[in-house]
């Protein structure tokens, strides 16, 4: 009773704060997604995927709450404050890993956490309970982000980086002060702060970059599917190909980033679903990494190529990219040649971890095929038309196998024998001579085992 009678915010004041948090979460989501290809550190690609997924889920809740408060949905797209807009422009335009991490995890996320805490403390928990509730649930995940961010800053940002960026860091503080803090609760400083990094308009960089652990990124020297679907090969060695295929999926968040960044004007549910899928694909990559660690194989010896995300991001448009993704994922649904078969192989290896990786991968892919049917198929026509469209677009980026070799980008080195030997050591078995000799590349056969057209 004491709390409930103590007053609180008016509907107008509460909506004002909700709108600013909604808009900030949206900007944060976009910034995280946009940097997934170009940020080289693998763990940051994965973390940005998760953090973007958190934001995408909560953006929808805040938009719904605003609509419930006698507010028409419009106005949600507009910046609530020019200085706050500039603040997020600066984070987006941060030109290095260090500045981006500082902008995200030392400025933007703490400001959102503060805004959520203020709103929970200031609004009446009985009268405005739906607002209180979404803030509380959002806060939980924002605090997770903050904790990760603090760890990342400790690992990756040195005092000398901070010193070199001191002018910009003070600009970031002054921008928030000029906006009256992220939620507008404080008095505005009145200062008109000048743009720094965003003085040059931000341009999305679709070219994937990887850190130094990823070697030989054009290597397409070992065809995983040709062995995986070979009935004469026993299940256990196929474990390596399953883990390889999972971890190679780093390229899917890298590619989905470009769709999410370039496609404008869809309902928020589109961005939410696509970001959920993007995070699932990041999880698949990490599941593969976990697999390699479990069998003591040093995955840095395996070339995890980026030719798929590179090709799609630089040679195809967003509609074609999404269609390629759908074609591949819908193509994994048939019982004998897809995800169910991979799970059966996992079960047959008698390794519960491999079975579990494939069990969840299969479940996720069914969701992804549905997301594709919901969002890309209607844009193209029927499901059959969408798959033909994606198939044609995919074949266009696969014709450079020889050229990469001629250009000296890769030797397409056969990494299979050494990795197979390493895994056999862990399993305590002798490598099979016939399998040691495995030497099938992607030169003429693509991942769905279709012929690559020459040209």
**Which residues sit at the interface with Fe ion, rule CB under 5 A?**
249, 281, 284, 365, 368
Q: Which residue is nearest to Fe ion (CB)?
A: 368
Nearer to Fe ion, 326 or 438 (CB): 326
CA 308 centroid distance within chain: 15
CA distance 35 to 152: 16
Whose structure tokens read 């709103």? 119
Please, which residue, 327 or 410, has the CB nearer to Fe ion?
327
Angle, vertex CA 451, rays to CA 446 and CA 455, nearest 5: 100
Which residue number, 155 or 363, has a Cβ lying nearer to Fe ion?
A: 363
Q: Minimum Å distance from CB 321 to Fe ion? A: 13
Task: Provide, rounded to whole angstroms, the least separation between the CB of residue 65 and Fe ion.
Answer: 31
Burial grade of 129 (CB within 10 A; 0-12, 13-18, 19 or more): exposed
Residue at token pair 């007053």:
7
Cα distance between residue 106 and residue 86, in whole Å: 16
Residue placing its CB nearer to Fe ion in the complex, 26 or 248: 248
Shortest reach from residue 403's CB to Fe ion, in Å: 28
Q: Could you give the angle at the alpha carbon of 21 between the alpha carbons of 66 and 68, nearest 5°?
A: 10
Q: What interhelical angle do 268-294 and 352-375 show, nearest 10?
A: 160
* Residue 443, SS3 per DSSP: coil
Whose Cβ is closer to Fe ion: residue 47's or residue 256's? 256
d(CA 232, CA 437): 14
Q: Which tokens belong to 83?
A: 């200085």
Least distance between Fe ion and beta carbon 331 (Å): 11
Decide if 433 contacts 423 (C-beta within 8 A): no
Nearest distance from residue 174's CB to Fe ion, in Å?
43
Name the CA radius of gyration of the chain, rounded.
Answer: 24
Residue 277 or 307: which CB sits closer to Fe ion?
A: 277
Q: Considering the complex, what minimum distance in angstroms separates the CB of residue 217 from Fe ion? A: 19
With tokens 């001629």, the residue in question is: 406
Least distance CB 280 / Fe ion (angstroms): 6
Closer of 131 and 258 to Fe ion (Cβ): 258
């Amino acid at each position: 009773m004491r709390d409930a009678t103590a007053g609180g915010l008016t509907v107008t004041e509460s909506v004002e704060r909700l709108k600013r948090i909604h808009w900030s979460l949206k900007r944060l989501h976009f910034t995280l997604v946009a940097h997934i290809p170009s940020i080289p550190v693998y763990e940051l690609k994965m973390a940005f995927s998760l953090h973007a997924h958190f934001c995408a889920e909560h953006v929808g809740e805040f938009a719904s709450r605003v609509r419930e408060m006698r507010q028409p949905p419009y106005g949600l797209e507009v910046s609530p404050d020019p200085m706050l807009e500039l603040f997020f422009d600066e984070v987006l335009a941060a030109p290095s890993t260090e500045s981006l991490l500082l902008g995200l995890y030392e400025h933007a996320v703490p400001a959102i956490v503060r805004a959520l805490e203020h709103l929970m403390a200031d609004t009446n928990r009985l009268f405005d309970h739906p607002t209180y509730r979404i803030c509380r649930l959002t806060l939980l995940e924002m605090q997770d982000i903050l904790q990760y961010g603090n760890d990342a800053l400790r690992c990756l940002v040195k005092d000398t980086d901070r010193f070199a960026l001191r002018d910009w860091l003070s600009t970031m503080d002054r921008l928030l002060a000029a906006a009256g803090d992220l939620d507008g609760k404080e008095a505005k400083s009145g200062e008109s702060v000048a743009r720094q990094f965003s003085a040059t308009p931000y341009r999305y960089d679709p070219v994937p970059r990887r850190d130094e652990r990823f070697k030989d990124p054009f290597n397409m020297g070992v065809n995983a599917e040709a062995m995986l679907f070979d009935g004469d090969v026993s299940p256990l060695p196929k474990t390596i190909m399953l883990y390889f295929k999972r971890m190679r999926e780093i390229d899917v968040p890298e590619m989905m980033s470009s769709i999410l960044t370039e496609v404008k004007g869809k309902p928020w549910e589109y961005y939410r679903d696509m970001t959920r899928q993007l995070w699932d694909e990041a999880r698949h990559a990490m599941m593969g990494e976990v697999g390699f660690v479990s069998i003591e194989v040093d995955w840095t010896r395996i070339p995890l190529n980026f030719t798929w995300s590179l090709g799609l991001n630089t040679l195809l448009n967003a509609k074609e990219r999404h269609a390629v993704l759908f074609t591949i994922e819908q193509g994994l649904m048939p019982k004998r040649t897809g995800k169910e078969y991979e799970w059966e192989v996992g079960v047959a290896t008698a390794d519960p971890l491999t079975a579990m990786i494939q069990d969840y991968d299969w479940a996720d892919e069914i969701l992804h095929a549905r997301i594709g049917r919901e969002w890309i198929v209607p844009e193209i026509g029927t499901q059959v038309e969408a798959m033909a469209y994606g198939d044609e677009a995919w074949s266009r980026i696969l014709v450079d196998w020889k050229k990469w070799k001629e250009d000296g980008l890769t030797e397409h080195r056969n990494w299979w024998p050494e990795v197979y030997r390493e895994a056999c050591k862990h399993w305590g078995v002798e490598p099979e001579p016939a399998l040691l000799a495995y030497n099938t590349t992607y030169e003429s056969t693509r991942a769905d085992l279709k012929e690559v057209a020459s040209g």
